[in-house]
Amino acid sequence: METIISKSKFKPRALEYFRLVEETREGLIITDRGKPVLRITPYQPAPDAKAEGRKRLRDAVVRYDDPFEPVGLEDWEALK
């Protein structure tokens, strides 16, 4: 559960709150006049984009006997 704290209370104890978020791995919401304006969350590295791309393409390529042969000639309107 995220902790909610006002901006005025956060400012003088910012480092203490950063350590709290780091240790508990829970977010912190900072408010200004009762309205949420910021969310501080623990860092999570993004998934490896290259690995995700390779995973999506896996088994998508079929075997080509002649890779330099034109493909889809019948799909071109100009050749009809």
CATH number of the structural domain spanning residue 34: 3.40.1620.10
pLDDT at residue 79, as a whole number: 67
Going by pLDDT thresholds of 50, 70 and 90, the confidence category of residue 9 is very high
Distance CA 7, CA 67 (A): 63
Q: What are phi and psi of 78, to 5 degrees?
A: -65, -25
> What range defines the domain where residue 54 resides?
1-65
What pLDDT is recorded for position 48? 78
User: Does the residue 70 lie in any domain?
Assistant: no
Asked if pLDDT for residue 49 goes beyond 80, the answer is no
28 CB neighbour count, 10 Å cutoff: 19
Beta bridge partner(s), residue 35: 32
pTM of the model: 0.56
Structural domain total, the chain: 1
For the chain, the average pLDDT equals: 86
Q: Which two tokens stand for residue 13?
A: 């104890």
Per the DSSP assignment, residues forming a β-bridge with 4 are 29
Does 28 have pLDDT greater than 70? yes
Is residue 77 domain-resident?
A: no
Percent of the chain with pLDDT over 70: 96
